[in-house]
Amino acid sequence: MAAGATIGSVLIVGGGTAGWMTAVALSHKLRHARVEVTLVESEAIGTVGVGEATVPPIRAFNAALGLDEAAFMRPTHATYKLGIEFRDWARRGDRYFHPFGPFGEPIGGVPFHQHWLAAGALAGAFDDYSLAARMAHHGRFAAPGPASPYGYAYQFDAAGYAAYLRGVAEARGVVRVEGRIVDVVRGAGDDLAAVVTDDGRRLAADLFVDCSGFRGLLIAEALGAGWDDWRHWLPCDRAWAMPTERTGPPAPYTRATALDAGWAWRIPLTHRTGNGHVFASDFLSEDAARDSLIALLDAPALAEPRLLRFAAGKRRRQWIGNTVAIGLSAGFLEPLESTSIHLAQVAIERLLDLFPTGDGDPADAAEFDRVMANEYERVRDLIILHYAATERDDTPFFRHVRTMALPDSLAEKLALFRARGVVMPYRHGLFAEPSWLAVYLGQRVRPAGHDPRATGDAAVLAQMRAAIEAEALGMPRHEEVLAR
């Protein structure tokens, strides 16, 4: 297209969570732009929909698109999520919480965790200083105010979220086309011209968004984007998923329990509990992994176990010509920190920042790739930290991950924390200081030294801890809030 040309049509290929998130976002943000948004999907192709737990930025995403919380929580059987409980990670029997919110408050201008480090054993558990962690522990929830020291996200049925978004998108003018893609028609250079469906329809567009999942129908199969393989840092490559009946009130948090060659998730929804076992097939057979998941279940199964295969990594290029990859077509990180939906969200936001002007400048694509690589790598590093910083040597899997070479970007962060308990800051990236602290300290990384200014006054810490506990206990129970 010529300079000054504009994008008149967008075709989203694939209708899972990423596809319908993209559809709602583009139809809303481009509502003045007379851009035709079409989504093509096939009923015959299943979606992955494992991403049942989310992180707090999803609330900003929903709010920016005018989505009402109550309206989407009910059909998606959503519960509130205050963070993730990690069990058996650094040592068997360990528990720690990665909360959506900070730990304690600075004292005398010195970060709270430095005082906690200075106080040593007198200070109790680090989690005791997180309101979100204590709320989660007691099964409490209340919507935070603007100054509250915690945030929240949701645990929901991802397929239900996609279905809800589809309703919103279609009401806002997005056209849904049923069909399986059988051919991709190239245009000039790296551009695509159209895709062809199994019933012979030719769907042309100015911009293509590949939300086709792992296979990367456009970005990889048609355009050969290349792949950054991260399996040497994240060897888990399979998951068994299996829902069970709900037992008791749903917890306002997700649980991730380390097993012998991977970990198990437990995500409570209002109508069922999502369970799964993420494992490394180099260390555990599929059959054994399925059996160990079934052995963990504490309630009757609602479906047969389902196997998912994946590989950690990302496309080397996520935007080529007039095709942008969003969701699993762009990259995959195991759901240990519930980041799948978030990475799709960030890609959508960056696509809108850099929405093509119509003449397809490769600089837009290069910038998108650079920014997204940063996002993926920073999330990746926090996930690797759970494996790298462990004392477990009771299985071949843990002996492997605790001794593997780390990416430089993580090695330097870890070195600084080990030396002085300082989290390396950055401007762009999901996880900020409290998240890094939760995982470093939860994984028993103890800095060699702490801030010399920190007093670790036990009485002050005890008072802070007591106030947090009282505040948590003063909140309503999670299930009561859900029932409202």
Partner 1 sequence: MRIAVAGDGIAAHLAALMLARVASVVSVPVGAGGHGLGPVGETVLGTPAWMEGEVAAAIGDLPGAVPALGIAFAGWSAEPWFLPYGDVGAPLDDVPFAQLAARVRAEGTPVRASDFSLAAMAAQAGRFAPRSADPRSPLSTLRPGAIYPAAALAGRLADMAARAGVERAAPLAAPMGSDDRLTLTNGTQLSADLFVDASGGAAGIAAAGWVSWRDWLPCCRVASRRIADAGGPAAYPLHAATPSGWQATVALGGTRVETRYTAAGEGEPYENGRRTKTWTGRRVAIGAAAGVIEPSLGHALQHAHDAVLRLIALLPAAGSDGGAEATEYHRLTAQQYDRARDAAVALWLTAGRPAAAPSTELARKLALHRRRGYLPLEDGECLSRDEWAVLLDGQGVRQERPDPLAAALPPPAVAAHLARLRERLVATVAAMPPLAGGGR
Please tell me whether residue 451 binds partner 1 under the rule CB under 8 A. yes
245 or 353, CB closer to partner 1? Answer: 353
Please tell me whether residue 64 binds partner 1 under the rule CB under 8 A. yes
Stretch that binds partner 1, among 97-105, 280-288, 363-371, 473-481 (CB under 8 A): 363-371
CA 148 to chain centre: 23
Helix axes 408-420, 362-388, angle to 10 degrees: 50
Smallest distance from the beta carbon of 467 to partner 1, in angstroms? 25
Choosing from 200, 300, 452, 474, the residue that interacts with partner 1 (CB under 8 A) is 452
H or E segment to which residue 462 belongs: helix 458-473
Smallest distance from the beta carbon of 416 to partner 1, in angstroms? 5
List alpha helices for 105-218, DSSP H.
Answer: 112-119, 131-137, 158-171
Choosing from 371, 388, 439, 468, the residue that interacts with partner 1 (CB under 8 A) is 371
Please tell me whether residue 36 binds partner 1 under the rule CB under 8 A. no
Smallest distance from the beta carbon of 426 to partner 1, in angstroms? 6
HEC profile of 340-403: HHHHHHHHHHHHHHCCCCCCCCHHHHHHHHHHHHHHHHHHHHHHHHHHHCCCCCCCHHHHHHCC
Smallest distance from the beta carbon of 27 to partner 1, in angstroms? 13
Choosing from 2, 32, 287, 408, the residue that interacts with partner 1 (CB under 8 A) is 32
The strand order across the sheet containing 227-229 reads 227-229, 313-315, 331-332
Choosing from 197, 281, 357, 409, the residue that interacts with partner 1 (CB under 8 A) is 357
426 or 470, CB closer to partner 1? Answer: 426
Contact indicator for 328, 306 with CB cutoff of 8 Å:
no
Please tell me whether residue 363 binds partner 1 under the rule CB under 8 A. yes
Please tell me whether residue 448 binds partner 1 under the rule CB under 8 A. yes
30 or 404, CB closer to partner 1? Answer: 30
Please tell me whether residue 419 binds partner 1 under the rule CB under 8 A. yes
Choosing from 145, 146, 300, 425, the residue that interacts with partner 1 (CB under 8 A) is 425
Beta-strand pair 36-41/9-13: parallel
Please tell me whether residue 7 binds partner 1 under the rule CB under 8 A. yes
Measured distance CA(307)–CA(295) in Å, rounded? 16
Beta-strand pair 175-178/36-41: parallel
- What are the Cα distances from residue 293, in Å, to 266, 289, 303, 304? 11, 6, 13, 12
163 or 422, CB closer to partner 1? Answer: 422
Hey, what are 290's tokens? 């399925």
189 or 449, CB closer to partner 1? Answer: 449
Smallest distance from the beta carbon of 32 to partner 1, in angstroms? 4
Catalytic (active site) residue 81: yes
Hey, what are 143's tokens? 């919507």
Q: Site residues for partner 1, window 86-115 (CB under 8 A)?
A: 109, 111
- Residue 435 sits at φ, ψ, to 5 deg, of -65, -45
Please tell me whether residue 8 binds partner 1 under the rule CB under 8 A. no
Ranges of beta strands (E only) in 124-260 are 153-155, 175-178, 181-186, 192-197, 202-204, 207-210, 227-229, 238-245, 254-258
Q: Site residues for partner 1, window 108-167 (CB under 8 A)?
A: 109, 111
Residues that bind partner 1 (CB under 8 A): 3-4, 6-7, 29-30, 32-35, 64, 109, 111, 352-359, 361, 363-364, 367, 371, 415-416, 418-422, 424-428, 447-453
